[in-house]
Amino acid sequence: MTNDTGGDVRLSGISKHYGSFTAVHPLDLTVPQGSFFALLGASGCGKTTTLRMIAGLEEPSGGTVHLGEQDVTVLPPYKRPVNTVFQSYALFPHLDIFENIAFGLRRRGIKSVKKQVDDMLDLVQLGEHARKKPHQLSGGQQQRVAVARALINHPRVLLLDEPLGALDLKLRRQMQLELKRIQTEVGITFVHVTHDQEEAMTMADTVAVMNAGRVEQLGSPSDLYENPRTTFVANFLGTSNFIAAEVDSTSGDDVVLKAGGGKLTLPAARCSAPATTGGKVLAGVRPEKISLTHADDAGGIPAGRNRISGRIAGSSFIGVSTQYVVDSPVCPEFEVYAQNVDRDERLVPGADVVLHWNPAHTFGLDAAQDIDAGIQEEAAS
């Protein structure tokens, strides 16, 4: 299916209802050609339904799907130039590996498949297993067969539905790199569905974070992580600390917030809440951006940093870093990750400390949302 190389995947106002339940709210999404795109979200957020609508396995309740200029909304799956790597692979148990991979070519009436299949077996490093049945392979090998079976058709888009979900952690890390390598090598657009935020961030160029049938935020992994615009994104991707604050004033490119008795500064560009004086804002900061200084040394902290005081409630040493939980008047359980470079022996539970960080690492969110959104989901996955 290489006759038409033009194209992005364009979803316009696409939605899906099951009876009264709305799995996907009207959604606009463009996946640029050749990119590695991830749909990230907890189970039941509509990411798999969205993927299946691109594949044609699910009929949209509304909206259109375009591949390049072609409207494929009403095309059945077997007429779409897209292929899917299914969750748990769905390899044909009655066919051997070679025939599994050749399946798509044969259905399109291509007679001489040997060379292409052999090339594909080499790409996924399964050459010597060509005549085995799927159940004779390990999980990781089956996963590679599923990828090869889809890729051999040179689809315009490869859809991956939680392809690494069934693998153990170590193999998963390995396959993430492997898939990334294959994508770079073949240059086909990959749309990857996952609930694993680390997986999405490792592999994808662009991540769309989905929640309850909507895209919460779309961007590069670092953009999503550094500059989340909702509490869901802030909590689902990594960990965030939130301080309930109020806008005090704006000065130049900065917004100054009042929190407890102190002041916090953040760049106006990083504040997604309206910066009107007196407005409520959640000031967020990632645990690894924060430095921890014993209260006795507080004088040595450079001026211009955001600072709050607190008392260490607990700490756990995990090798490369130490994770502290700090009780502060403005935030009950502040998480701080400190690299174990120079450990201060006085930083033990009960010690009074000052937390300080670069104002540029602060992000401001609208206070009118659930501060814990996205936390449960991640813990459950």
Partner 1 sequence: MTAVNWLKRNLVVIAGLLTLAYLLLPNVVVTVFSFNQPKGRFNYEWQEFSTAAWRDPCGVSGLCGSLGISLQIAFWATVGATLLGTMIAFALVRYRFRARGAVNSLIFLPMAMPEVVMAASLLTLFLNLGAQLGFWTILIAHIMFCLSFVVTAVKARVMSMDPRLEQAAQDLYAGPLQTFLRVTLPIAAPGIAAGAMLAFALSFDDFIITNFNAGSTVTFPMFVWGSAQRGTPVQINVIGTAMFVVAVLLVLVSMAIGNRRKKHKA
SS3 134: helix
CB of 86 to partner 1, least distance (A): 5
CB of 313 to partner 1, least distance (A): 48
SS3 172: helix
Out of 22, 33, 57, 154, the only residue in the binding site for partner 1 (CB under 8 A) is 57
Q: Which residue has the tokens 């014993």?
A: 294
Out of 13, 43, 108, 314, the only residue in the binding site for partner 1 (CB under 8 A) is 108
Q: Does 78 bind partner 1 (CB under 8 A)?
A: yes
CB of 6 to partner 1, least distance (A): 20
CB of 116 to partner 1, least distance (A): 14
Alpha carbons 9 and 12: distance in angstroms, whole number: 10
> Judged by CB, which is closer to partner 1: 83, or 176?
83
CB of 166 to partner 1, least distance (A): 13
Number of residues this chain uses to bind partner 1 (CB under 8 A): 30
Cross-strand pairs, 211 = 214
CB of 82 to partner 1, least distance (A): 8
Out of 15, 142, 153, 183, the only residue in the binding site for partner 1 (CB under 8 A) is 153
Q: Among candidates 115, 88, 90, which has minimal Cα distance to 100?
A: 90
Point out which span in 72-80, 162-170, 324-332, 340-348 binds partner 1 (CB under 8 A): 72-80
Q: Which of residues 110-139 bind partner 1 (CB under 8 A)?
A: 131-133, 136
Cross-strand pairs, 323 = 316, 337
Do the Cβ atoms of 300 and 282 come closer than 8 Å? no
Which residues have a Cβ under 8 Å from the Cβ of 44 and sit 6 or more positions away? none
What character string, x for contact with partner 1 (CB under 8 A) and - otherwise, covers 176-215? ----------------------------------------
Do the Cβ atoms of 159 and 82 come closer than 8 Å? yes
What character string, x for contact with partner 1 (CB under 8 A) and - otherwise, covers 9-48? ----------------------------------------
> Judged by CB, which is closer to partner 1: 86, or 337?
86
Strand locations in the chain (E): 9-18, 21-31, 36-40, 62-67, 70-71, 82-85, 157-161, 189-194, 206-211, 214-219, 241-251, 254-259, 262-267, 280-285, 291-294, 306-317, 321-328, 331-339, 352-357, 363-366
Q: Does 337 bind partner 1 (CB under 8 A)?
A: no
Q: Among candidates 171, 113, 117, which has minimal Cα distance to 139?
A: 171
Q: Does 86 bind partner 1 (CB under 8 A)?
A: yes
Fill in the amino acid letter for 308. Answer: I
CB of 57 to partner 1, least distance (A): 5
Do the Cβ atoms of 245 and 259 come closer than 8 Å? yes
Residues that bind partner 1 (CB under 8 A): 55-57, 76-79, 82-84, 86-88, 90-94, 96, 103-104, 107-108, 131-133, 136, 149-150, 153
